[in-house]
Amino acid sequence: MLKPLDPLLHSELRLAVISILIGVEAADFVYIKQHTGATAGNLSVQIDKLYKAGYIDVEKGFVGRKPRTLCKITDVGRTAFKQYVDALKDYISVKEA
C-alpha cells in the first residue's frame, strides 16, 4: 500500500519553500520570493501555513529601516520533508503487476 502524501507539502509553492530551506541555515523572504517566482501575497500565505504547521520558524525584524522576514526549517519540517520524499519514491517505484 502506498504511503499518503502530506497535503501541506503537496502544494507546489510550499514544497518549493521547504526545498529551499532544507539546504540552507535560513533564508529571507526576498530570497525565497526570487527563487520561487511567487507573488509576495501568495508567498506570505504559504509561509504562514508552513509556520502554523510547525514546519518552519519565522523571525520578523529590521535591517536598518527595512523590514526582514527570516525563515528556517524546523526538525518537524525536516522530518515531514523526508517522509514526503520517501513516499514519492514509493510512488515512483511501483511496478505494474
Query: Can you give the CATH number for the domain in which 51 is found?
Result: 1.10.10.10
Task: Name the average pLDDT for the chain.
Answer: 95
Length of the chain equals 97
46 located within any domain: yes
Total structural domains within the chain:
1
1 located within any domain: no
Confidence (pLDDT) at 10: 94
What range defines the domain where residue 47 resides?
A: 12-89
What's the whole-model pTM score? Answer: 0.91
Q: Residue 5: enclosing H or E segment and its boundaries?
A: none
28 located within any domain: yes
71 located within any domain: yes
4 located within any domain: no
32-69 pLDDT tens trace: 999 999 999 999 999 999 999 999 999 999 999 999 99
CA angle in degrees (0–180, nearest 5) for 73-92-23: 20
Q: Which three cell numbers stand for residue 68?
A: 526582514
Report, as an integer, the average pLDDT of 9-21. Answer: 97
Q: Identify the residue whose cell numbers are 514526503.
A: 84
Q: Which distant-in-sequence residues (6+ apart) come within 8 Å of 94 by Cβ? A: 2
Q: Which three cell numbers stand for residue 54?
A: 510547525
17 located within any domain: yes
Confidence (pLDDT) at 2: 87
